[in-house]
Structure 1
Amino acid sequence: MGKLVRDRIPDLFGGQTRLLNGEEYQAALRAKLEEEVAEYLQSGEPEELADVLEALRRAKADARGGFAGRVWWTPA
């Protein structure tokens, strides 16, 4: 059974990969968030929160984009 992983994980550990479509990606992000929250709640380790924030950051960037385009916007 597969799961959403960080980009370099397949390079480090092998396995098969495929790109997710938009709906699959959103579902995978939610599952990843649930997984990371459960890990934090089980371990109590603060560094587990970094993975939670990463999943949330990706979801927001997917919905609204990131800052790589260096777009400056002035509202009408």
Structure 2
Amino acid sequence: MTKIEKLELEAHRDQLETDVKDLVDKYLAISEWDVPDIDEPLANRLIIAAIRDALDHVEQGLQPSPPA
């Protein structure tokens, strides 16, 4: 990554973190509709694990295919 790309990413790092937190909150709220007495700390950990899995999947899809 070039210096300009790193600087640009750094400029958006706080917003990226806020967006991820909002995503966790969104899915926690959805879970609470289905399970009113949900264990929030456990639900947060499960949601974050699912987001990590999704990020891995997205990253794999963005990587160039190996040469044939």
TM range (shorter): 0.3 to 0.5
Choose 1 or 2 for highest CA Rg.
2
**Alignment TM-score, normalising by the size of structure 2:** 0.37
**Alignment TM-score, normalising by the size of structure 1:** 0.34
Specify which structure has the higher proportion of helix.
Answer: 2
